[in-house]
A and B are shown apart, each in its own frame.
Chain A
């Protein structure tokens, strides 16, 4: 009994899974839809299943379909409740973590019954700092200081959104692109070189830098597509290796005089010309730059590409089932190369946002861990363009707020990252939250409970036993 009460299709994105399942297939029951999915996915068992779950690939259309009815529907099935509980759970768990690791909290816990407020204050302060560092700082001296956090969130989110879009695009085409890191590095490398080595008039220079970044990323991503399409090499191993190659190539280039400042042997490139930089949107005291607008434009473009264009339809078809797509007359090889090139170009754009937006020079750590965070962003955004956009904003807020958590409350950065990862984990895995609180939305939804149960029942009971 208990197995059937807590089944969920997947850790990620189950809500839209059943929303999609409810609305998507006219006529047939969802069980048939799922069964046909599996058959399509593996060509009746003759093909190995795709590395990316079919359910992830199908996510795209939710956005067009999310009408008011489905919002109500979600509330009634307890999703708002689950979201609230996930954040609550993360906050409580994070609080316990801080209590264990922070001597001040431990001290306050020691006299909890004498002054209970102290413990609460010590535990709540880091969360307050998180909000103050990412959204609005009500303690700021002037309006600029109060608004600084939200601009910082947007700034940090910019490269995450661009690279996340690239990863999401790959997912939708059935490619597990974990090469965003290398593609960002190449975009940054190309863009930065044009930025500091060439001296061009304003406007043209930035345009060429962006173009170079797009080309750099597209080349590095396109190589993956080419290898996959021509030789069948698996994109995961190829992208991992290309990440290493890009990283060490960057480190090597930074030891050569062409990429170093005059009279210095430190591995840092000269500053980009001011003509090559994204204009600051709100003046010099904020880091927010026009790259954010480019990221918004990229989101719209990817949405259009996936949902309104023929190429995007081909990408999704290839992602759902390459064999069926080939049978239907789609050039799978061409699609694979193209999707990786576009994904690479988007990641390259993230690289440009780094060198032309925030860093203004090229260093070994210019890509930080954006390429890997982008994978989480894309998954959290359920591989939809706007989902990725908002997941990028969330991550940006965490990164920006993490600085304040550290600076204001002296919470160690590692604990900050653990707490943030917990929040993401719970947001991304509502089934876990439902299981923990013993919530069971399926009881109210007799139509789908059977489906979901039969879909994953075997796996679940195997795991539970």
Chain B
């Protein structure tokens, strides 16, 4: 008896929920349909479709996938084009995802990262009438419809190394990477050289832990996902006396950020240098400890490649981002502006000019070549 009552009650409650839901739907459903065209975008609509395939990091990786995606979105806004994007969940998704983009009628498909290099090459070869652009990877054997977008990140990382050495109070700075691959170690090479250059110029002995440029080996997370491991590594660095950390590991940088915030709440003075995008804007949780960022301005590059292709000016010569063309840059200091002495700022400005002019050579095994 009791049981049947309960069953009845359960049914009753479900019916109640359904009624409430239906009522809510009824109320919500009374709006007016949008007018037939409904387009209120600034630019005139175009049939041109630009597409993007992420690597397994996804479009929300606070790193190159995200920057590239922002470039695509701003192209949609500014040029009035159509866009499609697919996110890869695993390395095995690249080939089918790229094929589906071609089948969807994409004029230009932007792919992200060296992991998509082979898939891009084979799909581009099979579809000579479609255009492709690939971020952060170049392969001299690419067919003539693939444009590589690459960055000489070491130049900006050199500045970051000099800045870190100049601001460190303990005389120790640290870095770690996601995986030991060229697009990661190029940051670490530049950073190491920047620290070294500072030591030579000032007769100091600021130490770098986490990367040995000569041996091309150092501290790595093993992937770009284990945020907690980034935190543990950073705590280890702080315990060894480092007070500035450069995590080159995409979203894992957040782990470094939270370790530094923890240290700060215990009265320790430590800072973070973000990578890829201006962390002050993209990772605002840590903005109180972000000294600067080694930026790759991918959004602009992606948008300009899309614009060129839409205007019929596609070419396959690689785009190489440098300090000179603004493709790579050291981000502003924002809230920590006061932590950087005025003469260090002017030295950095001079150093930037020297790197652009070639007086100071920045070399990395991983630097892109024409």
Chain B interface residue count, CB cutoff 8 Å, equals 42
Establish whether residues A145 and B103, one from each chain, have CB atoms under 8 Å apart when the complex forms. Answer: yes
Report the Cα distance A415→B266, complex, angstroms. Answer: 41
- Cβ contacts B1-18/A at 8 Å (1 or 0 each): 001101100010000000
Establish whether residues B114 and A110, one from each chain, have CB atoms under 8 Å apart when the complex forms. Answer: no
Is A369 on the interface with B (CB-CB < 8 A)?
A: yes
A1's contact among B4, B31, B32, B33, by CB below 8 Å, is which? B4
Q: A365-B56, A412-B87 are in contact. Are A114 and B3 (CB under 8 A)?
A: no
Establish whether residues B3 and A365, one from each chain, have CB atoms under 8 Å apart when the complex forms. Answer: no
Establish whether residues B28 and A110, one from each chain, have CB atoms under 8 Å apart when the complex forms. Answer: yes
Establish whether residues A407 and B91, one from each chain, have CB atoms under 8 Å apart when the complex forms. Answer: no
Establish whether residues A111 and B31, one from each chain, have CB atoms under 8 Å apart when the complex forms. Answer: yes
Establish whether residues B6 and A365, one from each chain, have CB atoms under 8 Å apart when the complex forms. Answer: no
Establish whether residues B87 and A413, one from each chain, have CB atoms under 8 Å apart when the complex forms. Answer: yes
Distance between B213 CB and nearest chain A CB, rounded to angstroms: 14
Establish whether residues B92 and A354, one from each chain, have CB atoms under 8 Å apart when the complex forms. Answer: yes
Q: A109-B25, A267-B181 are in contact. Are A152 and B96 (CB under 8 A)?
A: yes
Q: A268-B114, A363-B91, A408-B104 are in contact. Are A110 and B86 (CB under 8 A)?
A: no
Establish whether residues B29 and A112, one from each chain, have CB atoms under 8 Å apart when the complex forms. Answer: yes
Interface residues of A in 247-291 (CB under 8 A from B): 248, 251, 255, 265-268, 271, 284-285, 287
Is B101 on the interface with A (CB-CB < 8 A)?
A: yes
Please give me the residue from chain B that is nearest to A271 by CB atom. Answer: B118
Interface residues of B in 71-109 (CB under 8 A from A): 84-87, 89-93, 95-97, 100-101, 103-104
Please give me the residue from chain A that is nearest to B104 by CB atom. Answer: A407
Establish whether residues B87 and A407, one from each chain, have CB atoms under 8 Å apart when the complex forms. Answer: no
A110's contact among B3, B31, B103, by CB below 8 Å, is which? B31
A-B contact count (CB 8 A): 114
- Cβ contacts A152-170/B at 8 Å (1 or 0 each): 1000100000000000000
Please give me the residue from chain A that is nearest to B29 by CB atom. Answer: A112
Is B30 on the interface with A (CB-CB < 8 A)?
A: yes
Residues of B within 8 A of A268 (CB): 114-115, 117-118
Establish whether residues B84 and A368, one from each chain, have CB atoms under 8 Å apart when the complex forms. Answer: no
Establish whether residues A287 and B95, one from each chain, have CB atoms under 8 Å apart when the complex forms. Answer: yes
- Cβ contacts B114-153/A at 8 Å (1 or 0 each): 1101100000001000000000000000000000000000
Q: A2-B7, A358-B92 are in contact. Are A410 and B84 (CB under 8 A)?
A: yes
Please give me the residue from chain B that is nearest to A119 by CB atom. Answer: B29
Establish whether residues A265 and B366, one from each chain, have CB atoms under 8 Å apart when the complex forms. Answer: yes
Is B179 on the interface with A (CB-CB < 8 A)?
A: yes
Distance between A123 CB and nearest chain B CB, rounded to angstroms: 13
Report the Cα distance A37→B98, complex, angstroms. Answer: 52
Report the Cα distance A287→B92, complex, angstroms. Answer: 12
Establish whether residues B7 and A112, one from each chain, have CB atoms under 8 Å apart when the complex forms. Answer: no
Establish whether residues B4 and A406, one from each chain, have CB atoms under 8 Å apart when the complex forms. Answer: no
Report the Cα distance A412→B100, complex, angstroms. Answer: 15
Distance between B22 CB and nearest chain A CB, rounded to angstroms: 11
Residues of A within 8 A of B86 (CB): 403, 406-407, 413
Is A450 on the interface with B (CB-CB < 8 A)?
A: no
Establish whether residues B4 and A363, one from each chain, have CB atoms under 8 Å apart when the complex forms. Answer: no
Please give me the residue from chain B that is nearest to A461 by CB atom. Answer: B3
B33's contact among A114, A156, A251, A364, by CB below 8 Å, is which? A114
Distance between A42 CB and nearest chain B CB, rounded to angstroms: 32
6 interchain pairs (CB within 8 A)?
A145-B103, A265-B365, A363-B91, A365-B56, A365-B115, A368-B91
Known: A265-B366, A410-B85. 17 other contacts (CB 8 A): A2-B4, A111-B32, A112-B28, A113-B29, A118-B33, A251-B222, A267-B179, A268-B117, A354-B92, A359-B92, A364-B91, A365-B92, A403-B96, A406-B87, A406-B100, A413-B86, A413-B87
**What are the 8 A-B residue pairs with the smallest beta carbon separation, nearest first?**
A365-B91, A112-B29, A368-B90, A110-B31, A407-B100, A111-B33, A368-B92, A406-B86
